[in-house]
Structure 1
Amino acid sequence: MGQAFFVTGTDTEIGKTTIAAGLLRAARLRGLSTAAAKPVASGCVRTPDGLRNEDALALLGECSLPLSYEQVNPLAFEPAIAPHLAAREAGVSLTADALLGPVRAVLALDADITLVEGAGGWRVPLHEGGNLSDLPVALKLPVILVVGVRLGCINHAVLTAEAVARDGLALAGWVANIVEPQTSRLDENLATLAERLPAPCLGRVPRLAQATPEAVAHYLDLAPLALR
């Protein structure tokens, strides 16, 4: 039976998709089957085939199982704004319950590893009183945290890990994505993250000129996830 994880980040624009695609490529290089979902995405582009999101397309490109775009990204919104605001403008009811069916369909494919990528950080709102974090809670998915390494990331990472634990989910691992290479005392900050986060580090990814999935995969270690 395959394993599935929810990928979240310490903030928006810190490389969640870059790392998720790298994790999927690393799995494929080990001969494992892969699938992914980006349940809700804003900032989509209109194409002849409909709205398309760059992040969802990147994930789709690393799926070894045959998936359609709509399976990977069932809810797509054009404005590059918070999902709950984009949904409100589009007149769409955005709830975790509405996303459960499409995500369960991807999980049912039983790839060796399935990644479900969130939007922004852990507490991204979906509707009044509800958050995107309600989705992995309902699915009981262990979490992979992408830490955008820059000034302030320790606080963001520890608070996110605490929120994940408070929601009853396991933190399966974390990845240090160095978005600001000139971060003061970089090595000391990474050591503090390792001390404070209650999960193994899956990799330290430097700022890459070409952050392709294969290039990122080189810096990742899937062993702590105990994939089959």
Structure 2
Amino acid sequence: MAAAYFVTGTDTEIGKTTIAAGLLCAARAKGLSTAAAKPVASGCEETAQGLRNSDALALLGECSLPLSYDEVNPLAFAPAIAPHLAAREAGVQLDVEALATPVRRMLAKEADFSLVEGAGGWRVPLAGAASLSDLPIALGLPVILVVGVRLGCINHALLTAEAILRDGLPLAGWVANVVDPQTSRLEENLATLVERLPAPCLGRVPRLATATPASVAQHLDLSPLGIALGRG
């Protein structure tokens, strides 16, 4: 049965895409078909084919279904700024339905394992009073939280998990991505996260010299999602 998750992070620049691509790679290694979407991305580069985002391309590279770039990343903006500001400058109304419609088309392909990656953290603004967190709410997707392990991550992780649960979505699991291996009391911090986060840990990814999807996947475990994967 098809299973789909929304991937969010405790902050920006904490390796959310690196982990998402690793999760997709791990699913493919289990023989599952995969699909993904990053519905809005800023910081895109102009190419002969149009604006392209490196994160969206990384996700596309781990999709086993034949998806086009536009199906993975329907809304792309050049400035490397908050998506709602980039959309405003481009004259685009960045509302929940504008994001949900193309994501629903991707999910309708019913890959065994699908991921929808957000931008930044849980409360990234959209147009008006809307937030990017309204997208997984509209789609009813359980959430995988990427915790960028560095100073302050415990507070960020617990607050994000609290917000996800308060919004009525299940926290399916979380991944510890060690972005700062020199973090003081690293093991104690990780133990505190395991103790306090109300979801299973799907893996601890160390700082890798070359973080390819395959090398990241070696540190991930999809088995805690087994019930969700079996039920769809």
TM-score (norm. length: structure 2): 0.98
1:140-219 aligned at under 5 Å gives the runs 140-219=140-219
Number of aligned residue pairs: give it.
228
Question: In the alignment, residue 219 of structure 2 is paired with which amino acid?
Answer: Y
**Identity percentage of aligned residues:** 79
CA RMSD of aligned residues (A): 0.5
Deviations 1:159-217 (A, max 9, x none): 00000001000000000000000000000000000111000000000000000000000
Question: In the alignment, residue 194 of structure 1 is paired with which amino acid?
Answer: V
Question: In the alignment, residue 195 of structure 1 is paired with which amino acid?
Answer: E
* Aligned mates of 1:54, 1:28 — CA distance in 2: 21
1:106 — aligned with what? 106
Shift of residue 7 of structure 1? 0.1
Question: In the alignment, residue 86 of structure 2 is paired with which amino acid?
Answer: A
- Kindly indicate whether residue 54 of structure 2 is the aligned counterpart of residue 39 of structure 1: no
User: Secondary structure in 2 aligned to 1:207?
Assistant: coil
Alignment gaps of 5+ in structure 1: none
1:123-134 aligned at under 5 Å gives the runs 123-134=123-134
1:40-119 aligned at under 5 Å gives the runs 40-119=40-119
* Aligned mates of 1:25, 1:58 — CA distance in 2: 11
* Aligned mates of 2:133, 2:96 — CA distance in 1: 8
Question: In the alignment, residue 23 of structure 1 is paired with which amino acid?
Answer: L
Alignment gaps of 5+ in structure 2: none
User: Secondary structure in 2 aligned to 1:172?
Assistant: strand
